[in-house]
A and B are shown apart, each in its own frame.
Chain A
Amino acid sequence: MIALGLEGSANKLGVGLIRHDMTTTPPTVTILANLRHTYHPPPGEGFLPKDTAQHHRSHILQLVKDAMAEGNITPKDISVICFTKGPGMGGPLTSVATVARTLALMWNKELVGVNHCVGHIEMGRQITGAENPVVLYVSGGNTQVIAYAEKRYRIFGEALDIAVGNCLDRFARVLNLPNDPAPGYNIEQLAKQGTKLLDLPYTVKGMDVSFSGVLTYIETNAPALLASGEYTAADLCFSLQETVFAMLVETTERAMAHIGSKEVLIVGGVGCNKRLQEMMDQMASQRDGKVFATDERFCIDNGIMIAQAGILAYQTGYTTPLEKTWCTQRFRTDEVFVAWRE
Chain B
Amino acid sequence: MATPALNERLTLQIPLPSPRLAKIAADVLDVDKDLKPEVSRRLISTQDNILTLDFQTSTLKLLRTVVNSSLEMVQMVVSTMASFDTESGEP
Contacts and interface: CB of A to CB of B under 8 A. Distances in A.
Given A322-B31, A326-B31, A94 B73 contact: yes
Contacts of A107: 84, 86
A61 B83 contact: yes
A94 B28 contact: no
A323 B24 contact: no
Interface stretch (B1-9, B47-55, B56-64, B74-82): B74-82
Interface residues of A, number: 26
Interface in A50-65: 53-54, 57, 61, 64-65
Contacts of A105: 24, 27-28
Given A74-B91, A99-B80, A326-B33, A106 B73 contact: no
A107 to B, nearest CB: 6
Given A103-B80, A107-B86, A57 B31 contact: no
A106 B27 contact: no
A282 interface: no
Interface in A115-136: none
B85 interface: yes
A36 interface: no
A75 interface: yes
Interface residues of B, number: 23
Contacts of B29: 98
A95 interface: yes
Nearest to A324: B31
Interface string A71-109: 000111000000000000001001101110111011100
Contact of A64 (B72, B81, B84): B84
18 contacts: A53-B72, A64-B83, A64-B84, A74-B91, A75-B86, A75-B91, A94-B32, A97-B31, A98-B73, A98-B80, A101-B27, A102-B76, A102-B84, A103-B80, A106-B24, A107-B86, A322-B27, A327-B32
Interface of A: 53-54, 57, 61, 64-65, 74-76, 91, 94-95, 97-99, 101-103, 105-107, 322-323, 325-327
Given A65-B83, A75-B84, A98-B76, 18 more contacts: A54-B72, A57-B75, A61-B80, A64-B83, A76-B86, A95-B76, A101-B27, A102-B24, A102-B28, A102-B81, A105-B27, A105-B28, A106-B81, A106-B86, A322-B31, A323-B31, A325-B31, A326-B33
Interface of B: 24-25, 27-29, 31-33, 69, 72-73, 75-77, 79-81, 83-87, 91
